[in-house]
């Protein structure tokens, strides 16, 4: 099974990519989107979102990163893709799934799924603009307001030359509300002749195996589930190599535990390392740095009671020095 780490705007940036890929189990990452809106971006704009480009396009632990572009103008996207390609990403990904109102208002993200012709024009223009050996992939939702055109959009993407398609198994209107409609991903997979990756509502091993069964996909993309349980990818890899009977489909989020799932004793040093990386970021104002740590701890509370306690203690602390001291004490 191939496991990808999802892009999550405002959460899963290069700092958290670094930490989560240290745990293991992730085969490839996709960056947060780089917004393209009418101009040819300077190299620094790409490097700000994907600093891994300075290091061979890989995270510190060696996991390749595919850079994601978001926009609605085929010509402008192609020009930016060509410039981005010179920086050496492990592929270029196109965003047809963002549900944000500000993005959709300008015709980008999931709004493009109402216009399969424009989707095809974007993929085709980008494919022609970058070297043939550089993969071009896309991520889409099942649709904008409905999933009626899901297969049509997928065929447009594949027919225009994309090498891979990730499908978030919900429409924009369904946002992030459960369930995810993994069986609809199977419909897409049956229609196209390129690899399809299933994404959406994979919180634990049972979810992953069920998603694989219903979608028919042997590649999955993990987002919020991996952020809240950094051992999830390792657990899925272990379960996929053993008997599915080891996994109880009745458990809720994080109910399935296997020997490779990371415990708090291993996770706490990674939380501390994350804080060190956040502290070192020159592009992040000091007053905003504590918020990044608390944001991740808030997600970790879903699976780790110790994170719940630590979040409660740090929630009212804004002094970076006190946070560093508190983390050191909590690790003893």
Residues marked active site are found at 98
Angle between helices 305-314 and 264-279 (to 10 degrees): 40
d(CA 177, CA 99): 12
The angle at the Cα of 109, spanning 104 to 111, to the nearest 5 degrees, equals 55
Residue 235 β-bridge partners: none
Residue 141 β-bridge partners: 168
Q: Say if CB 163 and CB 202 are below 8 A apart.
A: no
Q: Say if CB 38 and CB 46 are below 8 A apart.
A: no
Q: H-type helices in 110-223, by residue range?
A: 116-129, 150-159, 182-191, 205-215
Distance between first and last Cα of the chain: 37
Q: H-type helices in 106-149, by residue range?
A: 116-129
Comparing CA positions, the residue from 181, 116, 118 lying closest to residue 153 is 116
d(CA 11, CA 296): 8
Comparing CA positions, the residue from 45, 52, 67, 56 lying closest to residue 15 is 52
Comparing CA positions, the residue from 328, 188, 200, 178 lying closest to residue 268 is 328
Comparing CA positions, the residue from 146, 116, 147 lying closest to residue 138 is 116
d(CA 115, CA 108): 11
d(CA 170, CA 187): 13
């Amino acid at each position: 099974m191939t496991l990808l780490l999802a892009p999550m705007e405002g959460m899963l940036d290069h700092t958290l990519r670094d930490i989560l890929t240290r745990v293991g189990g992730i085969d490839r990452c996709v960056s947060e989107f780089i917004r393209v809106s009418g101009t040819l971006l300077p190299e620094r704009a790409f490097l700000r979102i994907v600093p891994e480009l300075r290091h061979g396009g890989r995270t510190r632990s060696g996991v390749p990163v595919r850079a994601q572009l978001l926009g609605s103008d085929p010509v402008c996207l192609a020009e930016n893709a060509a410039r981005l390609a010179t920086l050496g990403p492990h592929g270029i990904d196109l965003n047809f799934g963002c549900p944000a109102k500000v993005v959709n208002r300008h015709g980008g993200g999931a709004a493009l799924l109402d216009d399969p012709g424009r989707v095809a024009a974007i993929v085709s223009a980008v494919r022609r603009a970058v070297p043939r050996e550089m993969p071009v992939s896309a991520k889409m939702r099942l649709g904008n307001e409905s999933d009626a055109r899901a297969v049509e959009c997928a065929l447009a993407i594949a027919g225009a030359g994309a090498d891979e398609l990730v499908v978030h198994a919900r429409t924009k209107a369904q946002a992030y509300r459960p369930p995810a409609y993994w069986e609809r991903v199977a419909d897409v997979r049956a229609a196209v002749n390129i690899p399809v990756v299933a994404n959406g509502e994979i919180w634990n091993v049972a979810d992953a195996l069920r998603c694989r069964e219903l979608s028919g996909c042997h590649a999955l993309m993990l987002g919020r589930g991996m952020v809240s349980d950094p051992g999830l990818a390792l657990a899925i890899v272990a379960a996929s190599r053993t008997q599915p009977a080891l996994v109880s489909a009745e458990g809720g989020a994080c109910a399935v535990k296997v020997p490779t799932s990371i415990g708090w004793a291993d996770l706490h040093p990674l939380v501390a390392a994350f804080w060190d990386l956040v502290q070192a970021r020159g592009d992040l104002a000091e007053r905003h740095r504590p918020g990044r740590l608390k944001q991740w701890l808030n997600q970790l509370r879903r699976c780790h009671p110790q994170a719940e306690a630590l979040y409660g203690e740090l929630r009212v602390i804004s002094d970076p020095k006190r946070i560093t001291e508190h983390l050191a004490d909590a690790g003893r």
